[in-house]
Structure 1
Amino acid sequence: MSPWSIEYDPVKGVLHPFPYAPIMGGARPFILLDAKKGLTFNGSGADLIDEDFTVDPGWTEFGDSSVVNGKIVSNTVAGVDAYSVKTFAAQTELWAEAIISFDSFSFGATHSAGVFALHSLSGIRVEIYLVESSGIKFAAGYADDAGANDATLSSPVPVLGKKYKITLHYKQATTTSSNDGICEIWIDTIKVLDEQTVDNNAEDGDHIEVGGNLASSQASVLQRTDDVKVGTTGASPAQVTNWADQSGDGNNVPQATAVDQPDWNVSDSDFNGNPSVEADGVSESLKSALFSGGDKAQPNLVFIVHKTVSNVAASDYLFDGHTNAAKRHAIFDGSGGPNQEIFAGTSQALSLIDLNAHVSAYLFNGASSNSWEDGVPTIPAGTIGANPWDGITLFSRFNGANWGNRKVAYLLAYNSNFSDAAINYIGNVLAARFGTTWTDI
């Protein structure tokens, strides 16, 4: 049943293949966009570490892999100068990420143990380490030409056996100003270091290290690392050049023009820490080719996890079709008031626009069309026209106008209608993942 993953059903309390579950009668989506998967970015956008298997979103795993409890992980690192290291071409801007779990702590009050670092041969640029100070705590260091800077982080005290997602972002300054470089650190979804003091003399990063004694003091910390990856981005946040369809039908949504590429948010608090793609409401959008296999006649059922950042103007779009008015499905802000509208040849008003995250479902089905916002009906069944659907444009009208200032974390479309139970199943799974709510219809 690949390429779909096993998802937890919060209603039944069981695992099912999603979004290809028995409750859907075997129907499969013809487009699936997940902001965790299949994104490519502008600039260098390169994976700097290459292994035999990949992890999301387009990164690659680090280190010699092994299987621990049935899961592929990097080799265990056991302190006292034991660490894994990879070298790559010098980069002025780097993102790096690790998922780390500690099996034991053992070091004295004046000691520290390295966890994860971006650095150059001549010095550490950004480092996460552990210190023993009124209980073991995370600490961080970053360096510029004035020397090292250390800070104990306002973050949870590490717990044995718990997984922590560590994200580092390092960007060398490009001018003589001392305030336009970046050193940022996240633990899980919380930013715990936000320093804008990496000056122009700070060095490029060309190494990634995981584990062991990265700091000067001797230490012994047994830790496991999982999904360690490093790559570059063209800007921060990264601009999306292509969002690959995960349904298997190849209905990707690219954008070749740099100034029109939406941003990728690596961890978005509006969606429970999941990533999202965000358009600025000025010129940014993504657009597929004509759908693989031809036009999709109604019924079409679309689920989308989204948020309106700001109401830019009348008739700004969440999504539209590919070509002209005879082959379009669209959701946009109505010109006559603060409502969204649904369109497949005829417009009909939906719910009032707000600035919250939602799981929305839209049924394009002629006189029996409908829509739900977090499970709550937003229009009565009624005609919206009978247009087929020929492709998708995200964040604007099909002809490159009426741009919306919006975020999308997930989009799923079927060339079918489902029972209320099946719609509720999908709605509940998405709400649980993205931190919203779903009221069963």
Structure 2
Amino acid sequence: MFIDRAKIHVKAGDGGDGMSSFRREKFVPKGGPSGGDGGRGGDIVLVVDASLNTLIDFRYKRKFKADSGDKGQTSNMYGRQADNLYVKVPPGTVVRDEATGEVLGDLTAEGQELVAAKGGRGGRGNARFVSSVHRAPTFAERGEPGEERGLLLELKVLADVGLVGYPSVGKSSLLARVSAAKPEIAAYHFTTLTPVLGVVSVREGQSFVLADIPGLIEGAHEGKGLGHDFLRHIERTRIIIHVLDVSGQEGRDPIDDYHKINDELKLYSERLASRPQIVAANKMDLPDARENYPRVAEHIAAEGREIFPVSAATGDGLPALLDRAVALLAEYKDEPAPPVDTVVYTAKPEAPFTIRRDDDGAYVVEGKEIEKLVAMTNFANDEALRRFQLAWRRLGIEADLKERGIKEGDTVRIRGAEFEFKES
């Protein structure tokens, strides 16, 4: 089964908690703080594995969670850092953030890696908080939570040459004839419902990957037929072989087919329509095809494109077609990246926090720094609590809440934690 889209959820490992401890040895009854830092949580890393050609594995496993780092130890010993979790994806996978739609990476090369979620850093042990005025801190930080997000994976097949054309023009038969691929072949439209790849060996040391892209129809750029589901698979191909049924046995004019398919390619992507394209006039073993060929060949030549009379059924004409494809691949130069519109942004300082009212009247405080502080504070420790209160005032949250009319006993929520407001 060919699966070319998947939605997964990744959760990187949390950092290990820091340790709060004091040195206790013989003849050193009152040693100083000796709590070590926690270990870093594991990252979630997507890595390209060329042995994969589909996203089907993500149909059965959608959630990935890395291990957390170990806690810090006494004697200033750090906790063990967790191993990264590697998730294999096929080459040609585009990774997007589910919430924002932002493209995080385009993975094409064997072994290429993308850190999809970073592990949290380990919390600092109490030995890290010693200062000239605070010689014996009793508190340590909790580990930082690892990143968590939804990812959208989209596969675009990697092929050198793509076969395009209306359904039932003989693309699958052509691929089966020139490679070891075994596409399903039948006399009805949309027999091929998924892209099929085959390796074509032309001669010693010369080969390329050929993709049979499922049949396109008029309106494909708007999503009709298989439309957007498979037009994107042609985007990475360097050369296009446009297969025409010159026999006209489907009741369509091959010249009309030629223009309609090219119009769809152009409407979908100007860059795609500008790729080198050669035309395979298929089914030349049929009398109607031999009769139509001179008219079709004259029209294609007037368009400035090469046409090759072939028969996927008998193999006639295919060597010349493949030789030309190899020659075009040798001449092909990678296209420059599409121009990106330059947008000038005026930098605005990001607010350290925001405050809003919840439906039940509670005050909700949101902000990267304060949420991280809440996650890493051990509120069961009085010193850690006092440190949090100092940071709370330093950020100006208490003053802002008072301006908004907060009263003693009102509820304040930060990152899922609830606090009862009290005048300091």
TM-score normalized with structure 1 length: 0.28
- Higher Cα Rg: structure 1 or 2? 2
Structure number with the higher helix fraction is 2
TM-score by length of 2: 0.29
Q: Which has the higher contact order (CA 8 A, sep 6+)?
A: 1
